[in-house]
Chain A
């Protein structure tokens, strides 16, 4: 991966990455100026696309890595990390 920064996180909410949580994540990622990616088991999804995130199929307990292409989006990355760690506030 060409991402400049990444965070490895565990999905903690019971429902996993379902439509609503994926939507929240995609919305946040959409604020980034560069690419934001989610990686799971060698598969990569565009974090700004809810559908793409869903295709990764991440139930509770899944380990994902979120990466950014642009150093300027570090803040977004941290906010995404916080969102995932908080279990998407569910």
Chain B
């Protein structure tokens, strides 16, 4: 009895995070408060707009007061939270600042409120104290009340999703993703983005399926539609038939079995058949993800991205905040290495308070080490925090976007200064920390021999290396398919880096997406990458792949492979020789 409205539709996108889920769609930016419209208020209407905001707050206060007053005496202690909300409604940080934004930026009240809330809320969300963390929810409740009065309807927003849903959005910025209560999200579908986009990284870290770059997902999918998201094949099915549902359920089960099988061995070290031990590490963004790395059998942290702490607040974090965070991670990891990458902002993660000037081409602009060297105070604060945390475990420092030796020299100088300062102040620290650089700019590969003289290790960041070498914007749907990790140029870049590393006696690690792809493990081992770091849930699969490789067999294979002229040829050869490496964990393996 299905009308054509409920016909099964298949949408094709890019698989951003493996796994299969079935659930109800929740559209983020088509309706609901999340799509607060922004419009400019004329000068003479500003006071009226402020008045509209004040009225909305007043209505919210009246409504709250009524709830409190009508609560029976014996339940009164439950209303304490509402008393707090009453106060919050008029709190300077929300109320006065919103009025201020309306007046100075001449925007509508909804937009002003949304802006203020998005600045204030993350401060709480990022506090280490659980009690204070929960205050972020209070802010949400309070702003929702005001917003409802402003918009004049019962509407929901992303922070208030109360059932487990599949999030469908045009695109999600890192800031937006950080506002979502991720435990309520089963999967992601977005119009834009590719495998290396932020949403994809988040989804993989959380181990929930994601299909990105669908193009018109928000048009084809309606709120509450039943959809299937297959993050492996990149397929989204809208309104699946009974038959499709059954098949999907079966595949989902198989996938789970595979995962469980691999997980069983993930805590053992990964040794190749000929006994070569390869460290398989995890990439993290939030300190909490350490648990996931350990759960998946990670041998350490190969990449600790430190941007989040800067991203989600209205101003720069203090040395203490950074130190607490790093120390927490380092202590949990014990004697396993923790590779802290210094601040890599701008580029694809623009931070509100840092964007002093608009850059036409941020990926080629003032980002990462360039930014840090221009703001030595900010950089030194982070270096101090890292050196202090280093006293508690095995820390390595990793500097992003190095394009020449001067940047390394300046970083070493700043590290020395930071250490000297700490020494004078009598603060515990450790200066003897391995210093490594990200190999992600082609000039770093070309001058690797020069750079190797000053650093202790290389870490190849494949995402950016591919972007810069092939001139591909990974977030651009039109060219995302040209983002080819197996492009002969990329393979040569990696090989040269490893060769130089060996020659100069320093280790070469890899922390980009490529490291987490089990099918690529033979190539990476063949070229001599010493350590692989990836999203935690890829660790078991990659360990599994490493165990099936005999490096003695790789020499001839690599000789032929490196002579291939296109990414497709490389892919074909790789699949022919090692396709089994990935598919080996088929269900039949579970039989004894």
Contacts and interface: CB of A to CB of B under 8 A. Distances in A.
Interface of A: 18-20, 23, 26-27, 41-43, 46, 48-52, 54-55, 57, 59
A49 B93 contact: yes
Contacts of A51: 88, 91-94, 120, 135, 139
Given A41-B320, A46-B93, 5 more contacts: A42-B318, A51-B93, A51-B135, A57-B129, A59-B129
Interface string B65-96: 00000000000000010011001100111100
23 contacts: A19-B84, A19-B135, A20-B80, A23-B83, A23-B84, A26-B87, A41-B318, A46-B92, A46-B93, A49-B91, A49-B92, A50-B87, A50-B88, A50-B91, A51-B88, A51-B120, A51-B135, A52-B91, A52-B92, A54-B132, A55-B127, A57-B129, A57-B132
Interface string B107-118: 000000000000
Nearest to B134: A19
B131 interface: yes
Contact of B93 (A27, A42, A52, A59): A52
Interface in B278-320: 318, 320
Contacts of B94: 51
Contacts of A27: 87
A51 B93 CA distance: 7
B379 interface: no
B326 interface: no
Interface of B: 80, 83-84, 87-88, 91-94, 120, 123-124, 127-129, 131-132, 135, 138-139, 318, 320
A54 B139 CA distance: 12
Smallest CB-CB A-B distances: 3 pairs: A49-B92, A51-B93, A19-B84
Contacts, number: 48
A55 B321 CA distance: 12
A43 B94 CA distance: 19
Contacts of B83: 23
Nearest to B80: A20
A19 B141 CA distance: 15
Contacts of A54: 124, 132, 135
A18 B132 CA distance: 8
- The listed residue with most A CB atoms (<10 A of its CB), out of B83, B94, B128, B135, is B135
A55 B91 contact: no
B123 A20 contact: no
B68 to A, nearest CB: 14
B54 to A, nearest CB: 17
Contacts of A59: 129
A51 B135 CA distance: 9
Given A41-B320, A55-B124, A20 B92 contact: no
Contacts of B123: 55
Nearest to A49: B92
Contacts of B131: 18
A39 B83 CA distance: 26
B92 A23 contact: no
Nearest to A52: B93
A50 B132 CA distance: 12
B84 A48 contact: no
Contacts of B139: 51
- The listed residue with most A CB atoms (<10 A of its CB), out of B88, B93, B129, B320, is B93
A89 B94 CA distance: 27
Contacts of B127: 55, 57
Nearest to A55: B123
Contacts of B129: 57, 59
B131 to A, nearest CB: 6
B124 A48 contact: no
A48 B132 contact: no
Given A41-B320, A59-B129, A20 B84 contact: yes
